Amino acid sequence: MTLKEGYRLQEFEIKKKLGQGGFGITYLAFDTRLKKDVAIKEFFPKDLVNRDEQDNSVSLQKIEGEDSEDKQEISRTRYKHFLKKFEQEAQIMASLDHPNIVKVTRYFEENNTGYFVMNYIKGESLKKYIERVGKLPQDQILEIIIPLLEGLKHVHNADFLHRDIAPDNIFLAQNGKTMLLDFGAAKSTLIDATGKEVSIGVIKKSYSAPEQFYDDSIHTIATDIYSIGAVIVFCLTGKTPPPAPKRSNEKSDSLIALLEEYNSQCTQGFIKAIAKAMNLQAKNRFQEVIELQKSLTTKRVTLKRFILKNDKRLTQKEILNIVNPLLDKLEVLHNKGSTHSNISPENIYIKDGNVIELGRPMERVEYSSNSLTAIRNIGYSAPEQYSSESEDTNDTDLYSVGAVMFFMITSKIPSESTKRLTEVYSKKEDSVKRILKKYSKKYSNDFLNTVLKAMELRSDDRFQTIGSLREALNSKKITPPPLPIKKIIVSIVVFIILGTLYLFKDIFMVSPYVIPKTVQQQFNNTQEEIKNDVVNLDNKRQFLAELDEISLDKCSSQQCIDEQNSKLNNIAINVKKSLLNGNQVHSGSINECTDDDVLLGLCEKNKRISNEKD
């Protein structure tokens, strides 16, 4: 009933069938002109048509029996209507240009039916993905749904409704994108040959809103939002949600009971957003996609991001404030006879510094070296998790909790448990123990020893229950780090030595520069001469004050001596100028005239006054 491999459809060569639904078949084909793979969707309503095996043409199924001619005409009319709707789907998808919506590049008719060509994207439907991996944690659901909502906003902004949102119409590309497919129900009515509106609405029992089950009902953006909520429930639980008609007839809504089972795994806002999106009354749902988007998005972060973003190591008290709620959530799982087996800083979610969610547990899988990275948390998995012959037990989870505490202490990923085993066998010091020793000044020894015991390589040497680990963490007093005695003693000795040197500095401290006696004597003589000269001057106090500020006593370098001598010479010049103006005799002898004396004319004045006295 499908086109065979190698069949030529215009410039496209069919390679294989990708999927088939009630109204069409999708093929992988090769564009011989552009030399690339494409996806081609063929209009093929299997309940109405057959395919000729010779020429691959499509024809209506023959109807036998009473009123066969009338029924055949009705069938022909329906086929035309649906073919027109198929063409409209292609037109809608071609008009929507958005990275989260598959692009249609061409439409044509051949073999008595229609075809449209789309970009081929490798990946799988959300339905197949959930069937393969199982239910998803909140964080991963948001990674899928938020881009999908961006695409849906684009559809609504173009004045279209999708009306057929379901896991089989959501495509997860290998490049990480979420794509919205199948716009076959984007137009709810068509006009038949008589001008009458014909309803062709698509119903998907578990994903359609209540109003879609009734003819002549009004469909709005809230109709698509209901379907988005149902898709989120499918991702969260791995099960199809209860159909809207069933919920309408229940005394107690089964959807609310289903969501309550996941209260401990999801944020309260996330659960409330789903319930509101799937309200049975359209008026009580979100009326715009952006409203749902804001309600779903929370400010929670992973523990890993919380630690690295703050760029600081937590105190012992802060670590316990995180670990205790973590143990409480883990204890609920252990009490049910299950283990988590997937505890790591990337799978623990924090809001306002508090643990609000423990991510999705890991299912036990067969170990192989090729799948190691995919199924184990390197650095946080216990040794037994690398063996297909052993089983994960409660203490396996406690090893991971210890490794998480190691990360909070050091901001580093602990050594892989298999590497630690190799260190022990080769009689080397355990790298985890060696690193933790460096933090003994910030954390108490009791706390660090508790972390080490939780991370013991032998299962029997670890804490066996959450209660025993909790008691070890909380029963002992959080003591401050030991005082650095050696550093204190050294500091006291240095203080005593420096104090002694200061008290006896005249004995022990030697000036690095000794002033020559001749320089000191000459400096002192010059000062005395100036003092004798200023005795009878009116401004003698000014000169004497300036002289008192000059001294060689504090000089420890030649530069200082030169500066003091320069100041002294400036004062001498000013004094000699005052003497000249006031007809005073220089106190020095005539034979001791300096260059400055000659310059000022003091030597000639001294000689004249001396001769007059004689």
Q: What is the CATH number of domain 123-296?
A: 1.10.510.10
Element housing 124 (H / E): strand 123-125
Beta strands 104-110 and 197-199 are unpaired
Per-residue model confidence as pLDDT tens digits over 450-473 = 999 999 999 999 999 999 999 999
Would you state the pLDDT for residue 609?
46
Would you state the pLDDT for residue 111?
93
**What is the spatial distance between Cα 282 and Cα 209, in angstroms, rounded to a whole number?**
8
pTM of the model: 0.49
* Token duo for residue 49: 């048509």
* Token duo for residue 464: 């066996």
Element housing 291 (H / E): helix 289-296
Give me the half-sphere count of Cα atoms (radius 13 Å) on the Cβ side of residue 284.
10
Burial class (CB in 10 A: 0-12, 13-18, 19+), 17: middle
Would you state the pLDDT for residue 603?
53
Per-residue model confidence as pLDDT tens digits over 534-566 = 777 777 778 788 888 888 877 878 888 888 888
Would you state the pLDDT for residue 35?
94
Non-local (6+) Cβ contacts of 539 within 8 A are 578
**What is the spatial distance between Cα 483 and Cα 475, in angstroms, rounded to a whole number?**
23
Give me the half-sphere count of Cα atoms (radius 13 Å) on the Cβ side of residue 504.
7
**What is the spatial distance between Cα 164 and Cα 155, in angstroms, rounded to a whole number?**
13
Which phi-psi region, left, alpha or beta, contains residue 6 (left: φ > 0; alpha: ψ -120 to 50)? left
Non-local (6+) Cβ contacts of 257 within 8 A are none
Would you state the pLDDT for residue 508?
52
Tell me, letter by letter, the H, E, C secondary structure of 207-221. Answer: CCCHHHHCCCCCCCH
**What is the spatial distance between Cα 139 and Cα 136, in angstroms, rounded to a whole number?**
8
Find out whether 309 and 289 touch, Cβ atoms under 8 Å. Answer: no
Per-residue model confidence as pLDDT tens digits over 243-260 = 999 999 998 899 998 988
Nearest to 266 by CA among 288, 236, 294, 241: 236
Regions in the chain scoring below 70 on pLDDT: 183-202, 298-300, 310-312, 351-357, 359-360, 362-376, 476-487, 502, 504-513, 582-614
Non-local (6+) Cβ contacts of 377 within 8 A are 342, 343, 344, 346, 347, 400
Domain-by-domain residue ranges, the chain? 8-119, 123-296, 302-474, 517-613
Q: How is residue 582 annotated by DSSP? A: T
**What is the spatial distance between Cα 213 and Cα 538, in angstroms, rounded to a whole number?**
119
Topology match between the domains 123-296 and 302-474: yes
**What is the spatial distance between Cα 613 and Cα 47, in angstroms, rounded to a whole number?**
150
Would you state the pLDDT for residue 582?
63
β partners of residue 27? 17, 40
Domain 8-119, CATH homologous superfamily name and number: Phosphorylase Kinase; domain 1 (3.30.200.20)
CATH architecture of 302-474: Orthogonal Bundle (1.10)
